[in-house]
Amino acid sequence: MNGDGEGFDEGVKMEKLVFMWGYLPGALPQRSPILSPVVVRLPPSSIARTSWKDVCGGGCGFAMAISDSGKLITWGSTDDLGQSYVTSGKHGEMPEPFPIPTETTIVKAAACWAHCVAVTESGEVYTWGWKECIPSGKVFGSPSTGLSIEKDVFEKQSLLTEQVSPRSQGSRSSGGTVSGSDSRGGDETTKRRRVSPSKPSAESSSSGDETLSALPCLVTFNPGVRIATVAAGGRHTLALSVSDIGQVWGWGYGGEGQLGLGSRIRMVSSPHPVPCIDSSFARDHSMSLSRASRGSEGQGFRVPGNYIKGIACGGRHSAVITDAGALLTFGWGLYGQCGQGSTDDELSPTCVSSLLGIRIEGVAAGLWHTVCISADGDVYAFGGNQFGQLGTGADQAETLPRLLDAPSLENVNAKIVSCGARHSAVVTDDDRIFCWGWNKYGQLGLGDVIDRNIPTQVPIDGFIPRNVACGWWHTLLLAESPT
């Protein structure tokens, strides 16, 4: 769910710190939400006793970051709420290296609700977590006994109980907005199992660990393929290669088109090329504004660009950026999160035509929404907005990209963007961080649990923000100390 930000400048060596806030049970002894930024301490273990390199967000109740020695550091829940927490490794109050083979150096990582994926310096990919998200490949570690996978579990229940059937919620709108039956807080009624009222529910289809594997699997790609970065969605994964000029690879669940293969394929069990440039198209701009005019009668033309340079995954949708700055989206569209002016699913990568002529540099996707930033530092948002996660000042969904014009962003250029499940964050070029959206568990870092529908600055006095990565219910910030 994280944006493809450039990170930070390696030229000046300063102390790098990681701050966290939001709901990370086990990260503090009281296991309560962290309402304001708290410094994360590196583990004392000799294999990671260096400094922080980057933040990677994390999943449902667990966090991930990378040390400058190339170790993936995880921490988070020691809670029994949902067995998916095994995906974070040996978790708890103390961050510890995840047990990926010791000779590997991790450069990128991502996670969603219950699966994780990491890229090594040599371009290999490891993944672990919910078995439906894990392709066949070489598994490292001692196989656990008694773990089995029940196919009908996945077919009868959704990964995210908030995401009921894509056509059973909401009403279609012919304009640039969409209304839904799950108004603010209404999604809580779709929970399938009873949980403690003091904690978030595990948004899961599984109540046990039989569908999970904490053993890292080395993903098998075509010979010679080297991966540069990865993105993790609710039940799908995208990988962007460097060896074949920006080819996107995808695997996992594709029932709403989030794998971009042109059909509602339920499962892709091994990495498959996602045809983004050659087969994608942009509809005529006037056509795209009217849902009634969408379809084969729309005038098609080639998408600007020669290769893909950025990727993002949401709950059930995906977004990619071409080298020319064109934004393409595909997957679930019920809340307008594909930005096409309608609530239709997009089964193939399709250019967001209303942004043509604007060079998009970064994109991130949440459970129901998408946020992108332009080369000029402008922020555009679209999709679900039940908790203000679009930052528009309202709670109305947007099916077309909307330029954020909040006073807090006036004369400010955004350079890094990230999305959690229902909150958003940007880092600006004047070294500030802004968050907005759902704040029930303090995931905005503003010292309270009040939702915000406009970008609001997070106080990080005396530190320079370098990268931000939102997890499901939390946020991580990589910062530098000027001293």
pLDDT digits (tens, 9 = 90+) for 359-393: 999 999 999 999 999 999 999 999 999 999 999 99
What pLDDT is attached to residue 140? 64
Does the residue 162 lie in any domain? no
Question: Is 328 inside any structural domain?
Answer: yes
d(CA 267, CA 262): 13
User: Which residues of the chain are under the pLDDT cut of 70?
Assistant: 1-13, 28-30, 45-49, 77-93, 137-214, 279-301, 483
Phi, psi of 147 (to 5 degrees): -90, 125
Residue 87 placed within a domain = yes
Residue 146 lies in a domain: no
- Domain with 360, as residue range(s), is 15-136+178-481
Contact of 432 with 444, CB cutoff 8 Å? no
Please give the pLDDT value at position 330.
98
How many domains does the chain fold into?
1
Q: Is residue 1 part of a domain?
A: no
Name residue 22's beta-bridge partners. Answer: 34, 474
**CB 423 within 8 Å of CB 476:** no
For residues 125 and 427, what is the distance between their CA atoms, to the nearest angstrom?
28
In a domain, 464, yes or no: yes
Helix (H, G, I), strand (E, B) or coil at 469: strand
Q: What is residue 2's predicted lDDT score, i.e. its pLDDT?
A: 55
Question: Looking at the domain assignment, is residue 73 inside a domain?
Answer: yes
- Residue 157 domain flag: no
- Which CATH number do you get for residue 200? 2.130.10.30
